Amino acid sequence: MTGASVLITGASSGIGKASVLHMAGMGWQVFAGVRRSEDGAALQREATNGASTRIVPLLLDITDGAAIADAAETIEQQVGAAGLTGLVNNAGIAIAGPLEGLPLTELRRQFEVNLFGHVAVSQAMLPLLRRARQQQGRATLINVGSIGGRLATPFNGPYHSTKFAMEGLTDSLRQELRGQGVAVVLVAPGSIQTPIWDKGISRAIEQLGHMSPQMRELYTSRMLVVMRLARQVGVNAITADVVARVIAKALVAPRPNTRYFVGVDTYVGRVLARLPDQWRDWMLAQGIDKESERAANETA
């Protein structure tokens, strides 16, 4: 698509990185939001077949209003009258741990990155998206959610709460922009091979060390089992490239779907989410208990 451009946040790794490389390879001009200049340089080095010239790294902390304003100014200077064809709100972190012992600063940080930051970026880019709609005939805003926005598991409350919120926010924004021609899409993957969970698990284990002895006694053993299950799921998870291809499909579609679920486990998750709460809680607890027994037998 000639003249097409997209801003992708959280482009240093995972889905964001894969999406940057994929869209640049398709001929789009890609503004890649990264936290460190070396991450932007790495993206350009990894691009093939001349795609590196179409990647424009931007130092973008989506919780920093000044950084967002600078990014919007840079993008406007480069795209001019054509506007910005697409926005992919992808940046995210995963904070895990028992809610009873989690510092509120951590919970607020989770929301700042996974929700409020995306709202701030969307607000800054919508004028450029509307311009693209007028000049190019299309504009698409994609929020990267998760099946974790439909189905919650223990010790991942901070992450799940932001993804549940993203579901509602995306629905409202889609309805508000309906008459303006800007398509609003939610891409909801299941388990992915991405660094976000390894970082979250490591931080959760670190947090346990700061909790009171009573809190550790109450939660440590069960939480470690859940973390172990999460790692096992991650081994067979889909790659970020699979999600990147779905994001590309939504960006180029004249009439994209309102939602794209990515990965077989998202079908299982949606079925579980429709079950009565007591049934679903029992099934999840059974899985945790079985893994706990297996771990105990291995160490016996």
Token look-up 């992808």 returns 90
Q: What is the 3-state secondary structure (H, E, C) of 182-251?
A: CEEEEEEECCEECHHHHHHHHHHHHHHHHCCHHHHHHHHHHHHHHHHHHHHHHHCCEEHHHHHHHHHHHH
> Which residue is catalytic, options 159, 219, 260, 267?
159
Q: How far is CA 194 from the centre of its chain?
A: 10
Whether 23 contacts 1, CB under 8 Å: no
CB-based burial label for 277 (10 Å; 0-12, 13-18, 19+): exposed
For residue 159, indicate whether it is catalytic: yes
Token look-up 């889905």 returns 15
| Spatial distance between the Cα atoms of 38 and 44, rounded to a whole number of angstroms | 10
Angle between helices 37-46 and 14-25 (to 10 degrees): 50
Q: Which helix (H) or strand (E) holds 30?
A: strand 29-34
| Spatial distance between the Cα atoms of 6 and 141, rounded to a whole number of angstroms | 9
Q: 170 vs 2, 34, 81, 114, CA distance in Å?
A: 28, 23, 27, 13
CB-based burial label for 291 (10 Å; 0-12, 13-18, 19+): middle
Helix segments in the chain, DSSP class H: 14-25, 37-46, 65-79, 104-111, 117-136, 157-176, 195-210, 213-235, 240-252, 264-274, 277-299
Closest CA to 12 of 28, 48, 29, 36: 36
Active site residues: 159
